[in-house]
Structure 1
Amino acid sequence: MECVGELFRAMLLWKMKTMEMARASFAKGSRVYQIKTGRACAPHIQATTAAPPGPAACRESRNMFKKPVSSSGKTKIKSSVQRNIRQKICEQYPLLAPVIEDILPKKAQLDLIKAFVPDSVSEYCGEMRIVTRNRLTPDRISLYALDNQVLFFQSHDDAIMPHLKVVHKCALPDPQCFPKVQVDRGAIRFILGGAQLMCPGLTSPGAKLPPADENIPEGTVVVINAEGKEHACMVGILKMSTEDIKKLNKGNGVENCHYLGDGLWKLDSE
C-alpha cells in the first residue's frame, strides 16, 4: 500500500510540474506542443499535423464563417437605419450605386440577423497547424437580409461586406461593381478550405492584380476571382496594397472573410 501511495504522489507531483511548465511557456509566448499526439499543453490550443494551405512557412488566419453559424433570430430594421445602411454601402462601393435598387430597393423591408460564430485563430508553422480558440468571446456578426436572403454582413463596426450571392448577381450586368483581384488555379482549393490568401497566389502565372495606376490600398474589401472560373470564390480584406503585394510577394495578402461553401454560404436564415 505504501508503494502505491508513493507512486500516486509521484504521479501527482509530475502532473503538477508539467502543468506549471506549460503555463509558464504559454505566458512567455512560446508554444509547447506534442506533435506526435496532436495534443496541446494549454487547454485552448489545439495542434494537428494537417498540411498547411500554401507555400509559406508560417501564416495566421481568422475566418468568421469557417465554422457553422448560429443566429439569434431576426428583427426588422427601421427605415431610417435602413437608409443609413444603404448609403454606407453606396459610399463604400461607388460602382454598386447604379444597381443598388435591384439589390436593396428603397421600399423593401431589410431584416437584421445577429449571428454568432466561434472566434478562432489558426497558425501554420511548417506542417503543423495550430488552432487557438476563445470560446467565451464569440464574434458578433450582423447579417442584413432581404426576404430571408442575406445580402451583406458586418463584424462589429467594421466595413459592410457583400454576400457572395450578391457578388455573383452583380457580376451579370457589370463585373466591376466591387474591387477585385484574381488568384491562380492552384490557390482555389486552399481558399475553399478557409485558408488565408497568401501573396504568391496573387502574383504567380494565372493570377491578376491591377496595374500600378489602379493600386488598391490596404484595408479595402475585395472580391476574389479564380483563374478559369466564372464567379468569385471569396470576399476578403487586403492586408497590404496591391502594389506592396507585387513588391513583397510574401505573407498574407488578403484576409479570407467569406468563401464558397463556408458557414455563411450554408446559412438558412428562415
Structure 2
Amino acid sequence: MFKKFTSEEISAQNQVKASVQRKIRQSISEEYPDLEPILDELLPKKSPLIVAKCQNHINLVVVNNVPLFFNVRDGPYMPTLRLLHQYPSIMKMLRVDRGAIKFVLAGANIMCPGLTSAGGALDEEVPAEAPVNGCECKLVAVCN
C-alpha cells in the first residue's frame, strides 16, 4: 500500500512567493482549525516554504527540509504521517473494528460496518469527503 518515496520522484521544487505562502497557510488553517495554535510554529512566516512537485500530480509542502503537507491535483492539503503522529488531534478520528484492520492496511476502503460494529467508532459530524485520522491503525482516510 505505501511505496517508498525517493528524491528521484521529485520533478521540481520551488520556493514560493509570499502571496502563495499566505494562500497555502490560509488553506491549511481553514481545513484544520485545531492546528491554529501551532500553525506559526509549523509554518513560520520568515522561513522559506518550498513546494516540491512530484510524479502523479502530488505537491509536497516543505519547511526547513521537512515535508509537512501534501495535496493531489490541487485538492485539499493532507498532513504527512510524521506530522499526524506528532499532532494526532488535528483531524477527526474514526476507529475501525479489529476485523477490518488487516483489510484497511492492505488498501481496502473503510465501509460502514467496520465503523458501526462493536469496536468501531464513527463521529456523526464528519462531512462527506473530509479527511480523517483512523486512530486504531494510524491511517489517513477520506470519509465517503
Interval containing the TM-score (normalised by the shorter chain): 0.7 to 0.9
Report the RMSD for the aligned CA atoms in angstroms. Answer: 1.9
Question: Which structure shows the bigger proportion of residues in strand conformation?
Answer: 1
Q: CA deviation at 1:198?
A: 2.0
TM-score (norm 2): 0.86
For the Cα contact (< 8 Å) 1:142–1:155, is it kept in 2?
Answer: yes
SS of the residue 1:183 aligns to? coil
Q: Is 1:191 aligned with 2:101?
A: no
> What SS does the aligned partner of 1:72 have?
strand
Alignment-derived partner of residue 132 in structure 1: none
Q: What TM-score do you get using the length of structure 1 for normalisation?
A: 0.48
Query: For each residue in 1:127-185, what CA deviation from the matched residue of structure 2 results, as whole angstroms up to 9, or x when unmatched?
Result: xxxxxxxxxxxx311111122221111111211111111111113xxx2x212211122
Q: Which residue of 2 aligns with 1:121?
A: none
Q: Deviations over 1:89-140 (max 9, x none)?
A: 0011111111112222222211111111xxxxxxxxxxxxxxxxxxxxxx31
CA drift at 1:67: 4.1
Q: Distance in 2 between matches of 1:102 and 1:149?
A: 13
Q: Which residue of 1 aligns with 2:131?
A: 221
Larger Rg: 1
Alignment of 1:28-43 (within 5 A): none
Which stretches of structure 1, 4 residues or longer, exceed 3 Å deviation after superposition? 65-69
Q: Paired residue for 1:40?
A: none
Identity %: 39
**Contact conserved, 1:108 with 1:146, CA < 8 A, in 2?**
yes
Corresponding residue number in structure 2 for 1:98: 37
Unmatched runs of 5 consecutive residues or more in structure 1: 1-64, 117-138, 227-231, 240-270
Q: Secondary structure of 2:57's match?
A: strand
Measure, in 1, the Cα distance between the counterparts of 2:76 and 2:54.
Answer: 16
Aligned twin of 2:140: 235
Higher share of residues assigned helix: 2
Deviations 1:13-39 (A, max 9, x none): xxxxxxxxxxxxxxxxxxxxxxxxxxx
Structure 2, gaps ≥5 residues long: none
Aligned partner of 1:152 in structure 2 is 69
